Structure 1
Amino acid sequence: MTSAVIDREPLPDTAPQDPPRAGRRRRRHDQPPRWQLFVPLGVYLLFTLVPFYWMLLFALRESGSDSLVPWPITFEHFEKVWNERSFDTYFFNSIQVGVATMVMTLLVALSGGYALARFRFRLRMPFMLALLCSQFIPGALLLVPLFEVFRELQMLNSLGSVIIAETVFQLPLSMILISGFIRNVPPSLEEAAWVDGCSRLRGFLAIVLPLLRPGLVAVGSFAFVHSWNHFLFALMFLSSQDKQTIPVGLNTLIGSDSVDLGALAAGGVVAALPVVIVFAFIQRWLITGFSAGAVKG
């Protein structure tokens, strides 16, 4: 018996082949060297972090010391500005102004942004253009007219005047941003809620509002930080010391003949710490919110 030998062609090798070395080398050369990325970032961090370190240095080291390291650490400057310079009052006044401005801005901007995003009406585009153009008007130009308005309303030397002024100046940009966030939500979701028996308001609260959470965090944090740091409105509309906010309180630490650098640095740390803590917790929401508002869905 003869056995037949069947010649089989070798199967093609389907294993992944490593790219040629020349291709890998070319691809590696196409990428910029790491130092071109880290050197500019290092220079940026140097110019950013050195002022903060300098502020902490003056706030934590003893008076009269010229050491570049805050050792031994002292908190006498913080005790001085908090107890003797009424920074506790300034701090809680700024909290009231910031939170109230944030809430009022979000409420009004939500309604206005929804109207701009969902309704088509005459003069809609000129209205949005006017909102954009209003951002080029500095608040200092309107200080005198606003002062006269609040004087007629008998609202001078009250936190309400600062809250209203801050809200009015935050509304145009906030309304434009929130309208962009709402446009990214498909209208079919609301229509499905209407079919199920929801009213427009209930559909907005149940369907659209939860999807706007990153955008609301972004707009609210922007309004809070702006009102927290704003100096002119509080200086112009508030006269008594128990109504002042932190920016005006920092200005009181600068005398005509001398400056207490330790107390001023401690006050700067007190003013910056809440903002840093807030942004540390909402960083993820903030980036997501601004990214969602920048791209039209």
Structure 2
Amino acid sequence: MTAALAEKGAAAPVPADPPAPPAAPRRRGRERAFDDVPRWQIYLPLALYLLFTLVPFYWMLLFALRPAGSTSLVPWPVTFEHFDKVWNERSFGVFFQNSMLVGVATLVATTVVALAGGYALARFDFRIKNAFMLALLCSQFIPGALMLVPLFEIFRNLQMINSLGSVVLAETVFQLPLSIILISGFIKNVPVSLEEAAWVDGCSRFRAFRAVVLPLLRPGLIAVGSFAFVHSWNHFLFALMFLSEQDKQTIPVGLNTLIGADSADLGALAAGGVIAAVPVVIVFAFIQKWLITGFSAGAVKG
């Protein structure tokens, strides 16, 4: 028995099998289905959609850059006579300045008021909070044209007719409901514990908001401000209704003056459309990163 134990102890230990590699995570059905789709079935619809979107812009550039009376499908020789005509003869320089003033003022007013209202809805509880939120949502179903006559009477009594301030005020009021709801959602994603830590350190509520919450709201503020600017830049009804003097009109109203009762100057109209589109394209080209970040407003975790 002793010899058997000695022989058993002298035997070399059997090496253990190496651990099996971790199994690859199983992909969901949608991901597997997407990988099985040929690339041309993805890129072809995207190319068709891009073509459908860009053709009107090319047509507008074609009429704006080719000489009057030309039927060429290529803007050659290139001419800028239409731009010179609308900018100098049709006062588009003044229209552009007025639209820029209205857009920037609406952006600032909408952002500031929506920031205060959104913070109140996100951080405070009061009796009519749900009813107030419901009223904000329901106000989005009211078309702006329905409010033209009441607003005109209000601005006439306030002696604000033919003033850019009336357009700014009307645009701000109609932009505020959606802007307040969006800002409130952004603020709710910022943990209250961050503000409480600042209060413990001796900060007031306003100082804690400015130092802690406001920097985290930058994407949301850019998203809200950009929509306010673009909407006020393109809006036609308010400027047409409240502004009658030519030196107070904006670009959408100026474009309308290029269309006559029986005919339209297509070259000048296309050049005016290019002038109207350039600022919006530049704005979205610079803020697209912040805009996408603003819509994915769940990046802050508690």
Q: Normalized against structure 1, the TM-score is what?
A: 0.91
| Pair 93,16 (structure 1): closer, same or farther in 2 beyond 3 Å | same
**Any conservation in 2 of the 1:253–1:259 contact (CA below 8 Å)?**
yes
State the alpha-carbon separation in 2 of the partners of residues 165 and 250 from structure 1.
21
Query: Over residues 198-231 of structure 1, what are the superposed CA-to-partner deviations in whole Å (9 max), with x where a residue is unaligned?
Result: 1101111111001100000000000000000000
State the alpha-carbon separation in 1 of the partners of residues 273 and 155 from structure 2.
30
State the alpha-carbon separation in 2 of the partners of residues 281 and 6 from structure 1.
74
State the alpha-carbon separation in 2 of the partners of residues 103 and 219 from structure 1.
10
Q: Give the letter aligned to residue 43 of structure 2.
A: F
Q: What's the CA shift for 1:15?
A: 8.9
Q: What's the CA shift for 1:9?
A: 5.8
Q: Structure 1: which 5+ runs fail to align? A: 20-26
Q: What's the CA shift for 1:14?
A: 6.5
Q: What's the CA shift for 1:252?
A: 0.4
Asked if residue 135 in structure 1 is aligned to residue 159 in structure 2, the reply is: no
State the alpha-carbon separation in 1 of the partners of residues 89 and 34 from structure 2.
62
The percent identity for this pair of structures is 78
Hey, what does 2:54 align to over in structure 1? 49
| Pair 10,35 (structure 1): closer, same or farther in 2 beyond 3 Å | farther
Counterpart selection for 1:286 from 277, 291, 295: 291
Asked if residue 112 in structure 1 is aligned to residue 126 in structure 2, the reply is: no
Hey, what does 2:194 align to over in structure 1? 189
Hey, what does 2:42 align to over in structure 1? 37
Asked if residue 201 in structure 1 is aligned to residue 206 in structure 2, the reply is: yes
**Any conservation in 2 of the 1:177–1:219 contact (CA below 8 Å)?**
yes
1:109-188 matches, cutoff 5 A: 109-188=114-193
Q: What's the CA shift for 1:40?
A: 1.5
Hey, what does 1:217 align to over in structure 2? 222
| Pair 95,197 (structure 1): closer, same or farther in 2 beyond 3 Å | same
Q: What's the CA shift for 1:141?
A: 0.2
Count of residues in correspondence between the two structures: 286
SS at match of 2:75: coil
| Pair 124,71 (structure 1): closer, same or farther in 2 beyond 3 Å | same
State the alpha-carbon separation in 1 of the partners of residues 142 and 299 from structure 2.
23
SS at match of 2:296: helix
| Pair 55,296 (structure 1): closer, same or farther in 2 beyond 3 Å | farther
Hey, what does 1:91 align to over in structure 2? 96
Taking only aligned residues, the RMSD between alpha carbons, in angstroms, comes to 2.3
Asked if residue 256 in structure 1 is aligned to residue 256 in structure 2, the reply is: no
State the alpha-carbon separation in 2 of the partners of residues 129 and 295 from structure 1.
27
Hey, what does 1:74 align to over in structure 2? 79
Query: Over residues 20-57 of structure 1, what are the superposed CA-to-partner deviations in whole Å (9 max), with x where a residue is unaligned?
Result: xxxxxxx6885222122112211211110000000011
| Pair 295,39 (structure 1): closer, same or farther in 2 beyond 3 Å | farther
State the alpha-carbon separation in 1 of the partners of residues 16 and 301 from structure 2.
51
**Any conservation in 2 of the 1:117–1:179 contact (CA below 8 Å)?**
yes
Q: What's the CA shift for 1:186?
A: 0.4
**Any conservation in 1 of the 2:190–2:301 contact (CA below 8 Å)?**
no
Q: What's the CA shift for 1:126?
A: 1.2
Query: Over residues 122-151 of structure 1, what are the superposed CA-to-partner deviations in whole Å (9 max), with x where a residue is unaligned?
Result: 111111011011001000000000000000
Q: Normalized against structure 2, the TM-score is what?
A: 0.89
Q: Structure 2: which 5+ runs fail to align? A: 1-9, 25-31
